[in-house]
Structure formats: C-alpha cells, structure tokens
Structure 1
Amino acid sequence: MSERNRKPPFRKKPDFKRDRPDRPPTGRRSGRAPVEADTAILYGLHTVEAALANPRRRIRALYATENAAKRLAADGIALKVTPQIVRPDEIARRLGPDAVHNGLLAEADPLDAPDLSELPAEGIVLVLDQITDPHNVGAILRSAAAFGVTALVTTARHSPEATGVLAKSASGALDYVPIVTVQNLARGLAALRERGFLLVGLDSEGDADLAATQLRSPLALVLGAEGKGLRQLTRETCDRTARLDLPGAIKSLNVSNAAALALYVATTRLHPRT
C-alpha cells in the first residue's frame, strides 16, 4: 500500500457506535473493553474539565480530539488518564449529531451519593419532586452551583440518571453539587425537617409570593414537575407553599428558570446586601 493511501493511525482508535448519551451501553465492542452499565458518560469542555478537576471522580477513559487535548493542556487541567486521540466525527457517532461535545468525551465512575443525614444543616437545599427531564435537572444543577446550594435531593424513581444529557446541561455542576437520592420523598422531607430545615414548596397557588414569605436557614426549596407541579403529599408535607409572582403577561416559567429565580429570591432574603 502506498504511503498516500495508508489510513491515518487514529482510525485504529475506538470504533464508537451510536449510543444514547444518557444510558451507556453494555456488551463488547470492537477494539474496546465493554462499557459497564453504571458508567457515567460525560462530554463537553466544562463538564469534562470539572470531572478531571474533581478528586472524588474516577475517570475510566478519556477521548479527545487533537484541538481539545491542546485546550486541556492550555487550561492547565491535570489528566487522570492518557487521552485517546480521535476525530470529532467519532465522538459525534457515539453521542448523536446534536450533541455539542467540544471534542471531549469521558467515561467515569458515578459519584458517591451522600446520605441525607450527612448533609450540613445550613444554607439551601433543592428538592425535586419527580422532575424527569434531564435538560431541566441539569440546568437546575447549574443554577444550584452558581448560588452555592448545599445539595440537590431527588427520588430514586422518576428522576434522570446523572450522566449524558443531564451532565452536559449542568455544565460541570454535577461535580460541584452533591445529589442525594431518597426512596420516599415525603419521608425525606420529614427527615430534613427533623434536622431543622424549613420546607417551602414552590406552587403556582402558593400562600404568598416567595419574596414576601418569611424564610430562614437551613432552607429546603421544593420544586415539582412542569404541568402537574407538586404532588399532594409533597405539598402537605411542606411547612408552607409559596409562588413566584411575575409582572408580565406570562405568569409561569420553565421549572429550571423558576428554580434560578427562587434561588435568587431566597439567597437575597437570607443574605441581604448591606
């Protein structure tokens, strides 16, 4: 074979198949060890950089384009594993054509989830009542990291896995904000109350505007899924409910936007500027 017709060496790198980014595949694939079912799939610059910088995160494999590898080096990111250099379309085949991967994909261990009893009784905790859209949960995590939220509490069922689309939407926040998983949300809320948390459920028919509601720390803000909102038992378990009064023609927000606004209101109420 002539030198001109010889395939470049990176063609012998992993042969990615198109997989769902939020549910890593199992089984053997040509040229690679099987990907375990509990593998967290992380992609995108901020998501992968945060995972690499997190000492609690174990990276199993890292795939990068040449430009992305240079970017990591320029940003001074310490690599936990030697990256495998691949073409951008190889990563795109793995994730799908709409995934914005920035030339980076990592396979990692899921982070250990703390127990509810291990959370410090301070600051703000976000509680999600069956919010299943990974884009929304990821965006909520991003806001939670921006406002210094202590943790995010969700249920084992009716919640998305902490991988793929959720991780990308969180833009690195998955490695900054601990996620606590409970089997029963009402019991989880009761446990938070026993530890001194004030439980405030956000509801369109809440008792008062959140900005006019008396708040204190530690505080748990409880959000429900779009459309159905808080479930009845969740609402009854909260100490009080509050709404977000808006001045414009549209009176409701996407749940991730509502979370960001609620965090802003609560943070400014708990820590007023002097």
Structure 2
Amino acid sequence: MNRKKKDSPPAFWIFGAHPIEELLNHRDAQILELVYSRGNPRLERLAETARRRNIPVRLEDRHALNALLGTTHHQGVAARTEQFAYASLDDFLKAGPASIDPIVILDGIQDPQNLGSILRSACFLGARGVIVPRDRSARVTGTVIKVAAGATAYLPVVQVTNLVRTMERLKALGIWIVGLDLETDRSLYEVDFRLPSALVVGNEQKGLRPLVRKGCDLLARIPALGPLQSLNAGNAAAVALSEIQRQRDPRQIRPSSPVPRK
C-alpha cells in the first residue's frame, strides 16, 4: 500500500539581513529554516541566534541562494517561514478605536515596492495597522517584507474581501475615514487628525476607486509646491502619516525659534 506523502510546508522566503534579524527577534515568528552563506560576521550571528531557537540552519554558497530565491538581492541570508499570516479583521477591531488608531487603508496598491515602503513608513510613523483588499492588490511576499525592513513583525496587516464594507465598520467605531485625492480642494493640513482616523491611499495610477472615494468622510490632497503635481503612493502615505503624528504631538504644534547664529 502506498502511503500518501505528507504535504511539506509552503516555501515562503524572507531575505535580507535586517528583515531576518527582526524576524528572529520576534518570538512568535514561525521560522522553518534559515539558509545563509559564510563569510559575513553578521550572518554568522544570525545563524547562531537561529540555532539557539532550535531553528534548522543550512549553509549554502551565494549561487545556490540565487537559484533558491530567484534573486541576487538577498544579502546572503534567507529564512523559510509559514505563509504570511494576515491579521483577522474581527480580532483587529476587537481592540477598540484607541488601540487601532491611526489606520492605513490601501485601495489597490499593486507595486510590491510601494507596499513594502508604505508598511515601513506606517510602522515608523506610528500606524497601528494596515488594511488591504484581497483582490487587485499586491500581496505580502518576501520582496515586500525585505523592503518593509522588518515592519511586518510588528504591524498587523489585515486582508479583507470588501474594502467599502470594512470602512463602514470603522465608521461605526467612531473612526474618521480620510482619503488622499488629487482632485479635492481641501489641503491635508486643514484636516483635524486629532480624531481617530484611517488614511486611505489609492492605486498608483488610478487613485481611489469611485465607491471607496464615496465612502470616505473627507478627501484631502497634499499641496504641490513644485512643478510635479503628485507623489508616488509610498511617499504620499509617509507625508500624510507624518502630518497625523505632528498634530498629535503637542511638542510639534509650535515650531521652536531658530537658534541665533554666532
């Protein structure tokens, strides 16, 4: 009788020294294997950390890593993990408005580099979570995690089926939905972000979809001061998140006087 082979865990690779260092420091991360190339003291330290956590460690040369990962941009180290675990919307909302504010909502970001950049900015600038649609959106991959520089180890990423319905649930919790939009007259700097807020960033080319745009409480634009009229999605999200935190930090409301020159 032929025995049915047990399915092997999915090959979901994270690569890059910093993302893997953050992953190893996150005790709940389910790492199945670490693969690295010899010759770099930092990578040797990562391998030793993995061994202390009883994670299987494998030594390969860089050519083998290139073939394994399909890229040369791995910095000589990679970790195989369970498939990326998106956070549950119900669990995320259960914490209450004060614990999930501010939120970033991404409406159809399709470039993995942009997604990774937004996750990194969101984590750095104090966002409590990022919500993405299941369809017409980049997924969290090893490339995204590398660009995010370890942010996914700390920042919940929630994947939802219906973005507009999710926005309605956020409104019911008292969270104001602010969409970034080039066509509105309202400046980002006119919006009161001291209220619980969710920031909606649209697709790189088309911006917000009509139903998502209609579902926002407010629309705001980042004023252009130079000849270019728009920013890419990653930069726009970082500017808006920075303004949210500026308004919420009383130390940043009034600029200090310049120090007199000697």
The within-5 A match list for 1:196-207 is: 196-207=174-185
Give the helix-richer structure, 1 or 2: 2
Question: What is residue 152 of structure 1 aligned with on the other side?
Answer: 130
Residue identity opposite 1:243 in structure 2: R
Deviation at 1:119, TM superposition (A): 4.4
Q: Which whole-Å CA distance do the structure 2 matches of 1:139 and 1:147 have between them?
A: 12
Partners of 1:238 and 1:178 lie apart in 2 by 22
Aligned pair partner of 1:194 in 172, 194, 211: 172
Superposed displacement of residue 158, structure 1: 1.5
After superposition, the C-alpha distances for 1:192-216 in whole angstroms (9 at most, x for unaligned) are 1111111000000124110122223
Conservation of the 8 A alpha-carbon contact between 1:40 and 1:162: no
Residue 239 (structure 1) shift: 0.4
Cα distance in 2, alignment partners of residues 77 and 160 from structure 1: 33
1:114 aligns with 2:92: no
State the partner residue of 1:244.
Answer: 222
* 1:28-107 map, 5 Å: 36-37=9-10, 39-68=11-40, 70-72=41-43, 74=45, 78-79=49-50, 80=53, 81-97=55-71, 99-107=72-80
Counterpart among 115, 119, 127 of residue 137 in structure 1: 115
Could you say which residue in structure 2 is the equivalent of 1:219? 197
Q: Distance in 1 between matches of 2:170 and 2:219?
A: 16
Q: For the residues of structure 1 that align with 2:86 and 2:222, how far apart are their CA atoms? A: 34
Please give the TM-score of this superposition, normalised by the length of structure 2: 0.84
**Equivalent pair of 2:47/2:57 in contact (CA under 8 Å):** no
Give the letter for the 1:49 counterpart: E
1:162-201 Cα offsets, whole Å, 9 max, x none, are 2221111111111121101111000000011111111000
Q: How many residues align?
A: 240
Question: What is the aligned partner in structure 1 of residue 142 from structure 2?
Answer: 164
- Answer whether contact 2:105 2:130 (CA < 8 A) is retained: yes
The percentage of aligned residue pairs carrying the same residue is 33
Give 2:240's aligned residue: 262
Q: C-alpha displacement at 1:161, in angstroms? A: 2.2
Shift of 1:34: 7.3
- Give the CA deviation at 1:247: 0.9
Structure 1 CA distance for aligned equivalents of residues 151 and 48 of structure 2: 17
Measured in 1, the distance between the counterparts of 2:102 and 2:48 equals 30
Gaps of 5+ in 1: 1-27
Distance in 2 (alpha carbons) for counterparts of 1:63 and 1:75 = 10
CA displacement 1:130-180 (0-9 Å, x = unmatched) = 111111100100101111210000111122222221111111111121101
Q: What is the CA distance between 1:120 and its match in structure 2?
A: 3.7
Distance in 1 between residues matched to 2:116 and 2:25, nearest whole Å: 19
CA–CA distance in 2 between the matches of 1:35 and 1:212? 53
CA apart distance, 1:58 = 0.3
Q: Distance in 1 between matches of 2:48 and 2:62?
A: 20
Q: SS of the counterpart of 1:127?
A: strand
Q: Distance in 2 between matches of 1:144 and 1:186?
A: 21
Whether the aligned pair in 1 keeps the contact of 2:126 and 2:245 (CA below 8 Å) is no
Task: Give the residue type in structure 2 aligned to 1:189.
Answer: M
* Cα distance in 1, alignment partners of residues 138 and 48 from structure 2: 29
- Distance in 2, Cα, partners of 1:208 & 1:187: 25
Structure 2: runs of 5+ lacking an equivalent? 253-262
From the superposition, tell whether residues 75 and 103 of structure 1 become closer, same or farther in structure 2 (CA, over 3 Å). closer
Instruction: Flag the 1:133–1:192 CA change in 2: closer, same or farther, 3 A.
Output: same
Shift, 1:262, TM fit? 0.8
Q: Deviations over 1:53-90 (max 9, x none)?
A: 1122100111011235x314547973131310111121
